[in-house]
Structure 1
Amino acid sequence: MHVIYGGTFDPVHHGHLRLALEVSERFGNVPVNLVPCHVPPHRGKTGATATQRQRLLELAIVGEPRLHIDDRELRREGASYTADTLRQLRNELSAEEPLVMVVGTDAFAGFDRWKEWQQISNLAHIVVVRRPGAALNPEGAPAKLLAERGVKSAEALFGQASGLALELSPPWLDISATGIRERIGEGRSARYLAPDTVLAEILRMGVYGHAL
């Protein structure tokens, strides 16, 4: 099984890291590949550059063998589209190997606005992680896709290469990258929201508008 968890990671924080480990454990401690996007198509400019965000990720996962970084989107020009990444991975993996993409409820709520969204579930399984305060419109296409393709157990995803959906409700650390950027920009402490090594590197690089 090959699992990817994409995002801007601007910056990476304990919420991202804990979620990745929760997903890994649900699938028998399989590796989870963190995929930082180059140019996010659904939001404005990032606060840190692609190189800086990758450096922060590298520091964040030191000593954790279940977490890896896949920098393919950073190496690809233009906007980072999930369909393109999954198609590339699908070509690299065997036809039988399950490919899993992880997405939070908040992002999945707008899934039908993603590029080639109807093709994504043919390329990979979709694991939707519930986030506090985020809900799907029961009449919307994302909720209907989850209902049509949904399974009840993680084990079901091992049985085929793609096409299924699973909703998980792991313990969630309600931390936002936006909140961290705002704290740093205001000169407030962000300690315990992200690894100390990450925060120290943010200070060294001078990103997000203010020294910690």
Structure 2
Amino acid sequence: MTKAIGLLGGTFDPIHIGHLRPAIHILERLELAEVRLLPNYIPPHRATPDSAPEHRLAMVRLATAQTPGLTLDDRELRRNRPSYTIETLIELRQELPDTPLCFLMGMDSLCSLDRWHRWQELLDHAHLVVSHRPGWRPDFNPAVTALYQRHGTQDSEQLHRRPSGCIYLFDNPELDISSTQIRDCIRNGNNAQYLLPEPVADYIRDKGLYQRPVL
């Protein structure tokens, strides 16, 4: 049985412990072959990232270099245009026709999935592994409810047995850390230690990222 590959997209502006710790937890608990981190070039439904693509790429490379099982996939940055998940999944499926793929997301993303570009096609190419706080109860809109009724599973083995098509809800305590919080912390001259991997913190300091503009 081929082990599934996890896929985690994001702006990673900057990448921090709140991204890495849950990714490692999923990697270990679901026994994935790896989790690939995919930095977005320009996310379609979010503000343009503060730092340039080359800086975000470098920070993810530094973070994954010291974390076994986490790897960097830069395909979305290389497109130089808005990043749509469906395009990435189609491309990966062409490269890995029989390998199970697990696209990782938070519960807020699943609840708004029907607003994603070509959302009905996502499960043709990957599973959706959805992190939520323990004890959380689903509160989906009708479109997402119908999708979950067709594709939901509580059997994690299905993520390895089938290449795509399942929605799996995963208890994964979230760390209350955000990239916005870290950027504001740095701009205000405060210490972001322990929120970031040390090599990433060093890179931010060396490149002068997220500093308050000089008037």
TM-score by length of 2: 0.90
Equivalent in the alignment of 2:150? 148
**Deviation of the 1:60 alpha carbon:** 1.3
Equivalent in the alignment of 2:128? 126
Q: Does 1:81 align with 2:84?
A: yes
Residue identity matched to 1:180: I
Contact 1:3–1:99 (Cα < 8 Å) also in 2: yes
Select between 84-93 and 150-159 the one with higher mean Cα deviation. 150-159
Residue identity matched to 2:43: P
Contact 1:105–1:130 (Cα < 8 Å) also in 2: yes
CA–CA separation in structure 1 for the residues paired with 2:140 and 2:84: 25
Equivalent in the alignment of 1:51? 54
Alpha-carbon distance change, 62 to 206 in structure 1, aligned in 2, over 3 angstroms: same
Q: How many residues align?
A: 209
Residue identity matched to 1:120: L
DSSP-derived class of the 2:43 partner: coil
Alpha-carbon distance change, 157 to 15 in structure 1, aligned in 2, over 3 angstroms: same
**Deviation of the 1:185 alpha carbon:** 1.4
CA–CA separation in structure 1 for the residues paired with 2:92 and 2:102: 11
Equivalent in the alignment of 1:167? 169
CA–CA separation in structure 2 for the residues paired with 1:60 and 1:4: 16
Equivalent in the alignment of 1:36? 39
After superposing on structure 2, the runs of 4+ consecutive aligned residues of structure 1 that deviate more than 3 Å are 134-137
DSSP-derived class of the 1:61 partner: helix
CA–CA separation in structure 2 for the residues paired with 1:135 and 1:80: 30
DSSP-derived class of the 1:175 partner: coil
Equivalent in the alignment of 2:75? 72
Contact 2:5–2:35 (Cα < 8 Å) also in 1: yes
1:178 to 177, 180, 202: 180
**Deviation of the 1:27 alpha carbon:** 2.3
Select between 139-148 and 17-26 the one with higher mean Cα deviation. 139-148
**Deviation of the 1:171 alpha carbon:** 2.8
Select between 83-92 and 152-161 the one with higher mean Cα deviation. 152-161
**Deviation of the 1:29 alpha carbon:** 4.6
Residue identity matched to 2:42: V
CA–CA separation in structure 1 for the residues paired with 2:148 and 2:13: 28
Residue identity matched to 1:37: N
Unaligned runs of 5+ in 2: none
Alpha-carbon distance change, 22 to 97 in structure 1, aligned in 2, over 3 angstroms: same
Equivalent in the alignment of 2:23? 20
Contact 1:138–1:144 (Cα < 8 Å) also in 2: no
Unaligned runs of 5+ in 1: none
CA-to-aligned-CA distance 1:159-192 (integer Å, 9 cap, x gap): 2111110011123222111111111111111111
Contact 2:133–2:173 (Cα < 8 Å) also in 1: no
| Percentage of matched positions with identical amino acids | 39
CA–CA separation in structure 1 for the residues paired with 2:35 and 2:68: 9
Contact 1:105–1:135 (Cα < 8 Å) also in 2: no
CA–CA separation in structure 2 for the residues paired with 1:156 and 1:206: 46
* RMSD between superposed Cα atoms in Å: 1.9
**Deviation of the 1:57 alpha carbon:** 0.9
Contact 2:111–2:141 (Cα < 8 Å) also in 1: no
**Deviation of the 1:195 alpha carbon:** 1.2
**Deviation of the 1:140 alpha carbon:** 4.0
Contact 1:26–1:154 (Cα < 8 Å) also in 2: no
TM-score by length of 1: 0.91
